[in-house]
Amino acid sequence: MPRRITVAGINVDLNPDAKESAGAIAIGNKLKTEDWDIVAASEDFNYHGDIWDAAWNGGVNGGGFSSFNSTTHRGNISVTPTAVARFLARQSPVFDIDGLCLFYRWNRVTPSNESWTSWNTHYGYTGDGADGMIDKGYRYYLVTLATGEEIDVYILHMDAETSAGDNAARDSQLMQLADAILANHNGRPIVVMGDTNCRYTRDQIENHFMHRIEADERFSVHDAYIDLVMNGVCPSVGANAIMDQGSIAANRALHGYDYGEVVDKVFYINTTESGKRILAKSYKMEYSFKNDQGEPLADHWPVVVKMDIHDYDPDIDDKETTGGGLSGEYYIRNAYSKQYIKQGGWYDTQAVLGTYGPLMKLTKVSGKYLIQSPIGFLTQGESMYVDGSSQKMWSLALTSDRKTYNIKYGSGSSTKYLSGATNKDYPYGPNRSSLRLTTTASSTLQRWELVTREQIMTEMLDNATESTPFECTFLLSGANFDRYDNTVEEWKGWPDTATKMTCNRSGGVTDIANGNPCAEVYCQSYSGWTTYSTTWELTQALSNLPNGRYKVTMQGFYRDGEMNSNNPGAQHARLYLRSGGAEEQTSLKSMYEAHCTTAPDETVTNKDRDGYYIPNSMEDATYFFNAGYYENEVTIMVNDGSLTIAIGKPVTTKTTSGWTCFDNFRLFYLGHPDHPEGVDIINAEQKENTERKVFEDGRIVILKEGLRYNTAGQQIR
C-alpha cells in the first residue's frame, strides 16, 4: 500500500503587511487546520516563536492530525554591535541566521541529523535582494515517517532578484546543491523544497540541477509542477514567463491545476539504490492561506504537494515523466584532446573529431539517449557515423570526476565505450580513426564533456588572449563546406552560374575522394556570363559578439587565367573582415606559392613551369589543404558586436579561367586589448573571490561584490 506524505512551502515574510506578531500567530493557527506533514519555511526571523506557539498549542492529537513541532531556529534579526561592525565593513553575512525552519507534525514524521550549509556564492549586499545580509543556504534532514519509511529532505532559500549577477549566483547555487546531493547520497528517496527564486524561463534549473544529478544513472529528478501541470515538459530558458495573467479560474478549469509558474519548488528524486519510490499525486497553490479578514498570511502562496511513497514497481516507476536527464543540445568534447565530435572523414558523414563541432541533440528515451547531429543520428558500423537513420540508443554515465561522461553502447559484456584518439590530427584533413568504440573505459580518451553554448562562450571570455586565441568557429555557418551542411547557405552572394561546390548548389556536386569538401568560384564563360570581367563576393554576417579582437584564418588560393599561363600571375581574390565601418583585408595566396616538391597525394600530377606540384582540380586542392598549404589570415577589432567575413574578387579582369578555390574557415577570439592578459582577473585580491563575466551592450562586464567593472579593472555604472 502506498504511504502518503503532504509537503508545503511557505515564505514567512511579514514585513510588507506589517502583521508582525499578530500575523505570525495567524500563520501558526492556520497551520493547525491544514493536513500537511512537513512545512519548509523561509524568511522565518523575529516571529518564529509566535508561529510555533500557535501551531503547537491546541493541536488535535489523533485522527491523523497533530500539533506542529519545529526544528532549530537560528535566531532573529538583531542590531547588535557585531552586526553593525560587519555592516560597516561590508562583511557578509551581517546576521548569522538563515531564516529557514522545518515545521512538522510530530506524530507523523520525525526529522533528525539536521545540518545547514551556506551558499558558496551570492550576489548583492543591501541591494539586489540584500542576499549578503543573512546566511542564505540549505538545510538537510533525515525524515522518518511514522510508517517506517526514510527519506532525505533538503530545504533552501536561494539568491533573489534578476540581474545578471543574481542569475549567475543562482546557477552556482543550483550546481552546489546538485553536487552535495550526489556526494552525500544515502540510498534513500529525496525531497528538495523551498524558495528557489528560479523560473525555468530564466534560470538553468534543468542543466545545472536536474540534468547534473541525472547524469548519474542511479537518479531520476522530478518537479511536481512539471510532472502534473506542464505534462512533463520543462519550459525553455529565454521563453516568456508562464503567468496566470489574471485568469486563475480559467487556468484551473483548463489545466486542472494552477498554471502559472512560481519560484517556490518541490522536487523529488528517486534512486535505484532504494527499494522505495516517491510519486507526486497532486500539486496546488493554497489560495485559502489567509487570515480572518481574507488577507494573505504570507507574501507567497504555499505550494502544496501530496506524494505517495511506495515499493518500487517497474510498470509505474520506469516510465518517463519529465523527459529530464541530459536531454538538450550540447557540443560533445573529448576530455583528452579537447576536440569535438563533428562530421567528416572519408565519406563526409563519419563521426570524427575536430577543433570545433556542431550542437548535438540528446533526447532521453526509457533511460537511454538518442544522440542526433544536424544530419542524422550517431550510430556505428565499420566506423562511427553521424548521419544514421536508425535510432541507436546510448547510455551516459557520470565518471569519477563528476564532470565528464562515458558514452556507452550495448550492455553487460557487450558494452562498448565511445573513445577518442591519442593523436591530434591536422584540423582540416579527413580522419578515419579519430573516433571509435572500445571495450573498456580506462582513460580520459573515453571521457566526454557535454558543453552548452553558454558554457563555451564563458570559456571564451575567461581564457582568450592575444597569445592564446580561443577558437570560436562554432559561431560560423558552413565553415568548411561539408557536403551535407545546409548552413553553407549562410554565405550570401554565390554566383549561381559560375560556381562549383561540393554541396547541393546549382554549380553541381563534385565527389571528393578524400572526404574533405571545398568550394570554388571559376570565372569562365558559363551561361549568363558574357565576359570574364565579372566581380563577385561571398559574405557571412555575425552579430551579438563580445567585443574584442577577432582573427579569421582560411585556406584558399587564386589562379589568374589558365594553368601555367601566368606564373605566379596577378592576385585578385581577397579575404575581408568588416566591423563598425572598419575593414581589414588580405590578398589570397597565389596558387603558385606552395612551392611543393612532393605531391601531397599520388593523384596530384600537375606541375608548374618551375617544376613544383600544383592543384588543377577541386580534389587536388583538398589534398593541398589537408597538407596545410595556402593559409590566409586577417585580424580586426570588433567594437559593436558585429563582424562580416567576406571572400571575393573585387576587380575586373581580361583573363579567362580565373579560379578561386577555398575551404576551412576558422574564427578565433583574441580577447580585449584593454586587458592584454585576458578577462579572468582584475587584480590579485579579486582573483581569490567569486566574480562573473557577462556580455552587455557590446562589451564585457565583470560583476564583483555588487559592483561592475570593465576589463581594465575600472568600476563602471
Ranges 200-204, 367-371, 471-475, 526-530: which has the least confidence? 526-530
Tens digit of each residue's pLDDT (9 = 90 or more) over 275-316: 999 989 888 888 888 888 888 888 788 999 999 899 887 766
Mean pLDDT of 18-25: 78
CB 337 within 8 A of CB 424: yes
Q: What domains appear along the chain, each with residue ranges and CATH number?
A: 3-317 (3.60.10.10), 328-451 (2.80.10.50), 470-669 (2.60.120.260), 681-717 (no CATH)
Measure the CA dihedral 501/503/506/509, to 10°: 70
Mean pLDDT of 417-444: 69
Whole-prediction pTM: 0.57
Helices in 591-663 by DSSP H: which ranges? 618-626
Mean pLDDT of 560-585: 83
pLDDT value at position 432? Answer: 46
> Which of 23 and 543 is assigned the larger pLDDT?
543
Ranges 161-165, 296-300, 647-651, 683-687: which has the least confidence? 683-687
pLDDT value at position 464? Answer: 92
Q: What are phi and psi of 691, to 5 degrees?
A: -145, 165
Q: What are phi and psi of 167, to 5 degrees?
A: -60, -40
pLDDT value at position 480? Answer: 84
Please report, rounded to a whole number, the percentage of residues in the chain having pLDDT higher than 70: 78
Rounded to an integer, what distance in angstroms lies between the CA atom of residue 366 and that of residue 319? 7
Rounded to an integer, what distance in angstroms lies between the CA atom of residue 671 and that of residue 409? 40
Per-residue confidence band for 585, with pLDDT thresholds at 50, 70 and 90: very high
Per-residue confidence band for 632, with pLDDT thresholds at 50, 70 and 90: very high
Tens digit of each residue's pLDDT (9 = 90 or more) over 480-509: 887 777 788 889 987 765 444 333 333 334
Cis, bond preceding 469 (omega within 30 deg of 0): no
CB 111 within 8 A of CB 142: yes
Tell which residue, 271, 694, 283, has the closest CA to residue 457: 694
